[in-house]
Amino acid sequence: MNEEYDVIIVGGGPSGLSAALYACRRKMKTLIVSQDIGGQTNLAGMIENYPGVEPMPGMQLMQSFFKQAKGFGAVFVSGKAAKIKKVGKSFVVELSTKEFHKTKTVVLAYGKTPSKLGVPGEDKFIGRGISTCATCDATLFKSKTVAVIGGGNSALDAALLLSKIAKKVYLIHRRGEFRGDAVLVERAKNSKNVEFVLNSVVSEFHGDAFLKSITVADPKGKRKLDVDGAFLEIGYVVDSNWVKDIVKVNKFGEIEVDQNQRTSCEGIFAAGDVTSVPFKQTVIAAGDGAKAGLEAYNYVYGHKYGKTPPAIDWLHSKGG
């Protein structure tokens, strides 16, 4: 911990990368801490609703964000933030590797994490047959048998993607009807190699070094399905346990922010899906990230909120 950053951004998705871009354009010393680049946007096969951008894979859009942020000077560290401490007028961010970084401000933009089933064998086979990203890992299962677990649009999208690559796709849902869009349900029904397994839950994962089969339970009993892979598409949760003692969170575990992305702790800002913003969209996360970066700049340089920093009229300057 030899140097102090102006801002440490926890998260490398659209909100975190936008915060980094705007902070760096204000010549702030900026560090991004994240386990990946792109976050959940990477999972989108094709982004068609980002204004002014031609349709492109979510991963490609996020790489463009990352290239811009790095181009303006953002430093990236691969890792997981584990704790934040207030030390005087600064903060110390501790990583799970026991690495420490000092900063004047923090932007929490780490999004949500995939939900787990909480059944035997799940943790053992994560990365060894169990995946939470069909877009990332589908090609690993060419001509193999896989299961997709879930009932929303993400599960249906994953099943449709895998139907073009895998030999067989089991689509397992705990209810009798899907929550996803009717058009996606119809496409899945019309896919010859997709089999619906409804009113069923996965109760256990089996294998040796890699996943080999799953146990599925329904009202009639249990049965085993031989699979080479399983994709968990059961939603996401906010992991706020590590920050709830320093910032206020709501009953859903989301970080509460005001309209300027300020949290209950002065000097800590938050943006994107980790916050209480009602709409979880890439474009909204990016906009809120930009606000967080600008607010961090105002905080570092001691300006009152709503005032224009000297020499940088960012409200009226070209390019934001």
Q: Which residue has the higher pLDDT, 303 or 129?
A: 129
Residue 153 lies in a domain: yes
Task: Of 79-93, 131-145, 204-218, give the lowest mean pLDDT range.
Answer: 131-145
99 & 246 share domain: yes
Which residue matches tokens 């992991």? 239
151 & 204 share domain: yes
d(CA 5, CA 139): 40
108 & 127 share domain: no
223 & 150 share domain: yes
Note the pLDDT of residue 1: 65
Note the pLDDT of residue 2: 67
The amino acid sitting at 126 is: I
Domain that holds residue 53: 4-112+238-300
Helices (H) and strands (E) in the chain, counts: 7, 17
Has residue 320 got a pLDDT over 50? no
pLDDT grade for 45, boundaries at 50, 70 and 90: low
87 & 127 share domain: no
Using alpha carbons, select from 24, 8, 231 the residue that is nearest to residue 110. 8
Give ∠ CA 156-160-162 in degrees, rounded to 5.
115
Neighbours of 89 (CB within 10 A): 8
Paired residues of 153 in beta bridges: none
Has residue 203 got a pLDDT over 60? yes
Residue 128 lies in a domain: yes
191 & 258 share domain: no
Has residue 315 got a pLDDT over 90? no
pLDDT grade for 316, boundaries at 50, 70 and 90: very low
Q: Which residue has the higher pLDDT, 126 or 203?
A: 203
Has residue 237 got a pLDDT over 80? yes
Diameter of the chain by CA atoms? 71
Decide: 180 and 155 in contact? Cβ < 8 Å: yes
pTM beyond 0.85: no
The amino acid sitting at 256 is: E
101 & 248 share domain: yes
- In residues, how long is the chain? 320
Averaged pLDDT, 28-49: 86
Residue 307 lies in a domain: no
243 & 219 share domain: no
Decide: 298 and 307 in contact? Cβ < 8 Å: yes
47 & 190 share domain: no
